[in-house]
């Protein structure tokens, strides 16, 4: 049965944009950014694909194929790593911007996959300035991670970090180099000489050869006979990639600047603010600046070009993948160890079978939450550590400017008796100098200081709320949300400088409550 126009998500979204941002918003061309105010994996995919209906141009602007987005198109779930969500609509232009790093083989595989599903990729454009991930970057990444022992940061092993490192060290190769054989050969030689020297220093020739046998690196094709890397094989493969991508590699920075004010532009974030190389919980961060400022730059724009900056958080919990401080983690260190050292989805299926979201053992409660919410990496399958919503970290993330908040996954908490919200921390560590501030045991911290030396000594202070039991999956209007849920929402937004704009109550586009101005009275 066809839906009434008033019930469609497109119509509700238009009403929402008009009511909150003014008629003018719909009549002029604007820039919207969607980023995450936590550690990523907050369901950006759903909202980027929703807002791609509004946009003319959708741009993926930082990171590489280490990120994973899940989108649902006509009831089917697709996981995209590099290509923006607008690819499902032939009328949209999709940009992979200058701030990204690209493993051309992964990009081509994604294009082939999408074409096999009937999506045209003719509307895709790739920045000629985006840096190229080489096989040696992947080797360096995996070798570094395997040798780091307890110090490892949980890299996805896709070569992203060494590629960004080379960019800063002015050794990087760009997508444009794939179109110029002589330039490519010259730069590749310089990069490979350096990478070989580093690998020799690490004593890792044998390990490097082993790594190169994997499918991701074309099953040993790049192993050299006399040298560590087969220079000619890499040249041949990469110039072939260049041939296949010719026509879509272009100056996207110029295109984006030219489109300002003429087209609706959507900037699609990757990872999350707390993982930004510049603002995140360094060193347990990603290699790019995935903050709104970094996103604008990665698109060839300025931060001030962004008209509306949406920031996504999970309601009312959060997750983190890999290592790094996580004060509100359910199950504390045992959860961190389990998720990073051997835990996986299969093993978890048979764990805590009789447990529910209300388990009194917080480790078990965290596992149940993870299972119910499907919190396993879209790219790696790794279990995501689960914890309570942390307002101290959120206050910090809001400094990035994404203060129009989208809350996702609230349906997952249905049936939880007590929901805890961390409103601040009590510092429990030794005296610590933070600039001219001296932190002392017993200090209360309202806005997180995102250094591990501080966060690891922060005891979260919680306010507890009764949960709700009503099924909220089909709720479309704010006033139909359970009172207990609204009470928590009001508490959160009384305590952080941000406004709740959208509440997601299920994975599908229709499972969305758009908050209208009068809802908040």
Q: Is 504 in the site for ligand GDP (CB under 6 A)?
A: yes
Contacting residue, 31, 34, 38, 43, with ligand GDP by CB under 6 A: 43
Contacting residue, 35, 37, 38, 42, with ligand GDP by CB under 6 A: 42
Q: Is 506 in the site for ligand GDP (CB under 6 A)?
A: yes
Select 69 or 158, whichever has its Cβ closest to ligand GDP: 69
Query: What beta strand segments (E) does 122-191 contain?
Result: 124-127, 131-132
Select 374 or 430, whichever has its Cβ closest to ligand GDP: 374
Contacting residue, 35, 37, 52, 70, with ligand GDP by CB under 6 A: 70
Contacting residue, 16, 37, 39, 46, with ligand GDP by CB under 6 A: 46
Binding-site size for ligand GDP (CB under 6 A) equals: 20
Select 65 or 177, whichever has its Cβ closest to ligand GDP: 65
Catalytic residue among 41, 65, 166, 177: 41
Question: Among candidates 444, 440, 422, which has minimal Cα distance to 431?
Answer: 440
**Span from 229-237, 241-249, 275-283, 404-412 in contact with ligand GDP (CB under 6 A):** 404-412
Please name the residues in contact with 25: beta carbons below 8 A apart, sequence gap of 6 or more. Answer: 17, 18, 307, 308
Which 8-state DSSP code applies to residue 343?
-
Residue 221 beta carbon to ligand GDP: minimum distance, rounded to whole angstroms: 31
Residue 510 beta carbon to ligand GDP: minimum distance, rounded to whole angstroms: 11
Question: Among candidates 252, 268, 257, 255, which has minimal Cα distance to 304?
Answer: 257
Select 69 or 395, whichever has its Cβ closest to ligand GDP: 69
Residue 272 beta carbon to ligand GDP: minimum distance, rounded to whole angstroms: 8
CA torsion, ordered 45, 250, 64, 310, to nearest 10 deg: -40
What is the 3-state composition of the chain as percent helix, strand, coil, each rounded to the nearest 5?
A: 40, 20, 40
Contacting residue, 131, 155, 408, 414, with ligand GDP by CB under 6 A: 408
Q: Is 45 in the site for ligand GDP (CB under 6 A)?
A: yes
Select 45 or 172, whichever has its Cβ closest to ligand GDP: 45
Select 46 or 382, whichever has its Cβ closest to ligand GDP: 46
Catalytic residue among 69, 81, 195, 423: 69
- 457 catalytic? Reply is no
Q: Is 44 in the site for ligand GDP (CB under 6 A)?
A: yes
DSSP annotation string for 84-115: -GGGGSTTSEEEE-TTBEE-HHHHHHHHHHHH
Q: Is 84 in the site for ligand GDP (CB under 6 A)?
A: no
Q: Is 41 in the site for ligand GDP (CB under 6 A)?
A: yes
Task: Answer whether 299's CB lies under 8 Å from 59's CB.
Answer: yes
Task: Give bridge partners of residue 131 from the DSSP assignment.
Answer: 101, 174
Omega of the bond leading into 283 within 30 degrees of 0 (cis): yes
Select 275 or 421, whichever has its Cβ closest to ligand GDP: 275
Q: What is the 3-state secondary structure (H, E, C) of 372-425?
A: HHCCECCCCCCECEEEEEEHHHHHHHHCCCCCEEEEECHHHHCCCCEEEEEEEE
**Span from 54-62, 250-258, 360-368, 407-415 in contact with ligand GDP (CB under 6 A):** 407-415
Hey, which residues between 184 and 213 contact ligand GDP (CB under 6 A)? Answer: none
Q: Is 378 in the site for ligand GDP (CB under 6 A)?
A: yes
Residue 254 beta carbon to ligand GDP: minimum distance, rounded to whole angstroms: 29
117 vs 27: CA distance, rounded Å: 34
Residue 519 beta carbon to ligand GDP: minimum distance, rounded to whole angstroms: 18
Please name the residues in contact with 477: beta carbons below 8 A apart, sequence gap of 6 or more. Answer: 513
Q: Is 507 in the site for ligand GDP (CB under 6 A)?
A: yes
The Cα angle at residue 70 between residues 66 and 76, in degrees rounded to 5: 140
Task: Answer whether 481's CB lies under 8 Å from 461's CB.
Answer: no
Q: Is 400 in the site for ligand GDP (CB under 6 A)?
A: no
Question: Among candidates 257, 267, 244, 348, which has minimal Cα distance to 301?
Answer: 257
Select 139 or 407, whichever has its Cβ closest to ligand GDP: 407
Q: How many CA atoms lie within 13 A of 365 on its CB side?
A: 21
Q: Is 409 in the site for ligand GDP (CB under 6 A)?
A: yes
Q: Is 369 in the site for ligand GDP (CB under 6 A)?
A: no
516 vs 521: CA distance, rounded Å: 10
Query: Applying CB under 6 A, which residues contact ligand GDP?
Result: 41-46, 68-70, 72, 374, 378, 408-409, 411-412, 504-507
Which residues are annotated as catalytic?
41, 69
């Amino acid at each position: 049965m066809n839906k009434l126009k008033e019930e469609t998500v497109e119509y509700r979204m238009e009403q929402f944009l008009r009511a909150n941002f003014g008629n003018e918003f719909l009549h002029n061309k604007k820039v919207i950014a969607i980023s995450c105010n936590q550690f990523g994996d907050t369901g950006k995919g759903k909202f980027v694909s929703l807002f791609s209906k509004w946009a003319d141009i959708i741009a993926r602007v930082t990171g590489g194929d280490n990120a994973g987005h899940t989108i649902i198109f006509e009831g089917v779930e697709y996981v995209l790593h590099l290509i923006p969500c607008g690819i499902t609509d032939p009328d949209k232009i999709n940009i992979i911007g200058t701030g990204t790093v690209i493993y051309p083989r992964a990009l081509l595989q994604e294009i082939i996959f999408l074409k096999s599903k009937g999506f045209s990729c003719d509307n895709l454009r790739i920045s000629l300035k985006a840096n190229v991930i080489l096989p040696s970057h992947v080797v360096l990444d995996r070798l570094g991670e395997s040798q780091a022992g307890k110090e490892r940061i949980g890299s996805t092993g896709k070569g992203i970090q060494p590629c960004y490192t080379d960019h800063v060290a002015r050794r990087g190769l760009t997508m444009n180099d794939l179109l110029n054989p002589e330039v490519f050969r010259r730069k590749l030689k310089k990069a490979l000489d350096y990478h070989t020297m580093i690998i020799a220093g690490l004593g890792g020739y044998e390990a490097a050869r082993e790594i190169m046998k994997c499918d991701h690196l074309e099953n040993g094709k790049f192993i050299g006979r006399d040298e560590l890397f087969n220079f000619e094989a890499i040249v041949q493969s990469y110039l072939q990639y260049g041939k296949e991508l010719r026509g879509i590699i272009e100056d996207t920075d110029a295109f984006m600047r030219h489109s300002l004010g003429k087209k609706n532009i959507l900037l699609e974030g990757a990872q999350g603010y707390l993982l930004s190389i510049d603002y995140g919980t360094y060193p347990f961060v990603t290699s790019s600046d995935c903050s709104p400022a970094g996103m604008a730059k990665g698109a060839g724009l300025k931060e001030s070009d962004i008209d509306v900056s949406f920031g996504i958080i999970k309601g009312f919990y959060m997750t983190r993948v890999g290592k790094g401080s996580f004060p509100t983690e359910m199950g504390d260190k045992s959860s961190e160890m389990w998720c990073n050292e051997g835990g996986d989805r299969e093993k978890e299926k048979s764990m805590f079978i009789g447990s529910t979201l209300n388990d009194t053992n917080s480790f078990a409660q965290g596992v149940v939450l993870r299972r119910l919410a499907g919190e396993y990496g879209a790219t790696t399958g790794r279990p995501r550590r689960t914890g309570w919503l942390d307002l101290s970290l959120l206050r910090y993330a809001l400094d990035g400017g994404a203060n129009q908040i989208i809350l996702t996954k609230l349906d997952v908490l249905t049936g939880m008796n007590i929901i805890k919200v961390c409103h601040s921390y009590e510092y429990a560590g030794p005296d610590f100098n933070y600039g001219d501030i001296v932190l002392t045991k017993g200090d209360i911290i309202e806005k997180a200081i995102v250094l591990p030396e501080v966060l690891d000594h922060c005891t979260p202070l919680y306010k507890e709320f009764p949960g709700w039991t009503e099924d909220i999956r089909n709720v479309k209007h704010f006033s139909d949300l359970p009172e207990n849920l609204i009470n928590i929402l009001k508490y959160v937004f009384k305590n952080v400088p941000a406004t709740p704009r959208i509440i997601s109550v299920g994975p599908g586009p229709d499972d969305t409550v758009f908050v209208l101005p009068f809802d908040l009275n």
